[in-house]
Structure formats: C-alpha cells, structure tokens
Amino acid sequence: MEPRVAYERDDNGTMDVDRTDPPENFYAIGCDDLGRTRRKRAVESLRRATQRIECETDERRRTDERNARALFEQNARRLVLERSEAAHRRPVVRCSSSTVGDTVATCIWDGTCRLRDRNNLQGKTTFAAHEVRCADVRIHPSYCAGVDGPCAATGSSDGTAKRWDNRGGNLATYKGHADRVARIAFHPYGDHLATTSFDRTRRLWDVETAAELLLQEGLSRAVYALAFQCDVSWSVSGRLDAVGWVWDLRTGRHIHTLTGHIKPILAVDVAEDGYTVATAGEDHTCRLWDLRQRRCIYTLPAHSSLISAACFETKQGGTLLTASYDGTVRLWSTTTYACLNTLKAHEGKVAAVAVAAEAALVFSAGFDKSLKRWCVDREGEGPNAL
C-alpha cells in the first residue's frame, strides 16, 4: 500500500508536502504462537491429505467404504425412536455425541449443561456452565467416558466460552467477544477451540492456555456457524448475511465464498471426504458444495421451516442429517440426494441433532425440553421408514 501523504497550502497558495504517514496494515497481524501453529498445520494437513488420497485410490478400501456407506444408508431407513428423556424445564438448544465412548452432552437455555450416558440417556453430571443462556456445547475429540480429564466446551450469551472436565469443573474460560457467542468447535486435534459471535468476529483459542491466537474481524454481519475440515487445512463459517466463507488455516486467508442462500446461514458441516460442504439456514434449504469444483452441486428443499442444525454422519460422510423448526429430523443420501428417513417425535421445534455413526445412533433435542435417541429397528422397517 502506498504511504499516505498530507499537504498544506502556504501563503502563496501552493501545495507543500507536510509529512508522510507510515504505511497502515488493514488486517490483524497474528501472534508468534499463531505463526507456529499455522506452520505445524501446514505439515499435518499435507500428511493427512496424502493418507486420505491414498485411501481413495486403493480399490479395496474404496470397496469397503462403498459397502459401509450403503450399510449406513440401509440403517438410516430403519431408524425408529428408541428412548426419550425429559431433559430439563427449559428448551434443549444443542447436543453433542462423543467420538470415543458413550457420552452425549446437552446444553439448556438456562445455562445448564448435562453429560449423559448415550445408551440410556441417564444423567452422569449436571453443572451450571453459565449464568445466562447456553448457545452451544461440544465434546472434546479425544474424550473417553470413564477417564477423568477435559471433557467438553460450552459457549454462551454472556460472550464467553468455557472448558469443563467430566465432573463439571471449570478448566478454562475464553474471554474476548463483545457480544454473545453463537457457536463453538474444537479443532480435530483438540488443541484449539474456535468461536463465532454476534460481535461479527470469529476467534481461535489455545485450549490449554486460553490465549487468543486469532481475531478475525471486519465482517459485515454476525458470524454464526463454523466447522473444520478433516485434513485440518481449512475451515468454513456461515454468516447471517447468507454468505459462507472458506478459510485456509495454514495462511489465514479467505480462499472461497459460498453464495446462494437468500437468508441467514445457521449450520455448516464438512464431510469426511475432505471437500463436500453442507450449509443450511433460514431459507429452509440445505446446499451441498464441492470445493474441488468450487460450486454448489445440489440444493435440497429440505424442510418447511428454518434448518437449525446439519451434520454428516462421521465415518463415511455418505448421509447428511438436518434438523428443523418444522419438528422433524431428516436423513439424506449425498449420492442420490434422496430423503432416506423422516424422524417425527418432537412436539415443536427441533434445535439440534448429533450422530454416533459407529453405533448407528442419532440424537435430537428441541424446544419440547426433551432429548431423543433413535436407533435401528431390528424387528423390521419400523414406522419411520420410507
């Protein structure tokens, strides 16, 4: 950028150079820790991408993945309501299932967080995470039930995010947002936490030290949804101006814009294939994007009301789940784009959905103050099958 030069008129009316201002940076320069993190992520993402591509080109593994995807789609058609628990006196706004073990976490409007056994939905630990409304909860990627240590993180309308152990002890508080936190997400390695907020920023935190590594500001509208890619090379965020942004985690640069929604984006997720992105929101649609082609490949007219949550099943990414304020959860094939199943049991708005792919379990939560568990009907097709 050219330096800015200031001029003043002298008594003769001529223009003389008065001073020269130093160049200004129109971006936030990251700290040294962020630079080290980005260099580390560049090496890791290359290694993980190489492994993923080798798997995709191995015919035996490709066959195994196709079979696993087909099996999950068959199971998706046979999901039925197996258990429902009254979670609290207030609406349940988010739920999260552990990657390892048997824990599901829920957060409530009144600031309460509860850890449950995902096999029977019975409570393990309940704690007051925040004094005001909880906005999101995420279980740590490496958390295993029965092992003491870091377990989950929560975000709140008080503008903070917090990290908790499995006994409800507060391990860290992440402060910096000037408005309420919308969503949080753990980095796949679990060493960083990302937050989005109505203060029009997204931030990246060191999980252990609670240090703010990145502040991305200057956005036109509130940043709402957030997700990481499996190779840890990029992330995607959704804003309330109906635009999605893709960010390179190795350089910090904005590398692509997702446009097409006509109302705010409320949910995003990235499939395990490393390039398929789902965005959903208030326009009742869910869009699928192929970032190799940098375009939307399909638009699902998914629900009759806003879509509050969307996620891929976590093993193969062949099935997409959407939850909506129309009171339903729907499962979609990402190859044929057909609706595999519609889960109806909530009496009102569905606010969250989570999946435990290895166990073929789906969890949903909503404004009817309940948490529901859906499993495969082993006796037959069941009432919810198409």
Do 333 and 319 form a contact (C-beta atoms < 8 A)?
yes
Q: pLDDT value at position 123? A: 85
Start-to-end C-alpha separation, the chain:
60
Q: pLDDT value at position 25? A: 47
Give CA 44 to chain center in angstroms.
21
Tens of pLDDT along the chain (386 residues)?
Answer: 444 433 344 455 444 444 445 555 445 566 777 777 777 777 777 777 777 777 767 666 667 667 777 777 888 899 999 999 886 788 999 999 988 778 999 999 999 999 999 888 988 899 999 999 999 999 998 887 667 778 999 999 999 999 999 889 999 999 999 999 999 999 988 889 999 999 999 999 999 999 999 888 877 889 999 999 988 889 999 999 999 999 988 888 889 999 999 999 999 999 988 899 999 999 999 999 999 999 999 999 999 999 999 999 866 668 999 999 999 999 999 989 999 999 999 999 999 999 986 667 899 999 999 999 999 887 654 444 33
Do 338 and 329 form a contact (C-beta atoms < 8 A)?
no
- What are the C-alpha distances in Å from 277 to residues 69, 192, 287, 292? 17, 21, 8, 11
Q: pLDDT value at position 142? A: 85
Rounded CA separation 214/235 (Å): 13
Bin 317: left if φ > 0, else alpha if -120 < ψ < 50, else beta. Answer: left
Q: pLDDT value at position 314? A: 67
Q: pLDDT value at position 75? A: 83
Cross-strand bridge partners of residue 83: 373
Q: pLDDT value at position 60? A: 67
Q: What is the 3-state secondary structure (H, E, C) of 149-170?
A: CEEEEEEECCCCEEEEECCCCE
Phi, psi of 313 (to 5 degrees): -65, 145
Q: What is the 3-state secondary structure (H, E, C) of the chain?
A: CCCCEEEEECCCCCEEEEEECCCCCCCCCCCHHHHHHHHHHHHHHHHHHHHHHHHHHCHHHHHHHHHHHHHHHHHHHCEEEEEEEECCCCCEEEEEECCCCCEEEEEECCCEEEEEECCCCCEEEEEECCCCCEEEEEECCCCCCCCCCEEEEEEECCCCEEEEECCCCEEEEECCCCCCEEEEEECCCCCEEEEEECCCCEEEEECCCCCEEEEECCCCCCEEEEEECCCCCEEEEEECCCCEEEEECCCCCEEEEECCCCCCEEEEEECCCCCEEEEEECCCCEEEEECCCCEEEEEECCCCCCEEEEEECCCCCCEEEEEECCCEEEEEECCCCCEEEEEECCCCCEEEEEEEHHHCEEEEEECCCEEEEEEECCCCCCCCEC
Q: Is the pTM of this model over 0.75?
A: yes
Both tokens of 34, joined, read 């962020």
Give CA 41 to chain center in angstroms.
19
Do 115 and 166 form a contact (C-beta atoms < 8 A)?
yes
Rounded CA separation 222/181 (Å): 10
Q: What is the 3-state secondary structure (H, E, C) of 277-289?
A: EEEEECCCCEEEE
Do 330 and 321 form a contact (C-beta atoms < 8 A)?
yes
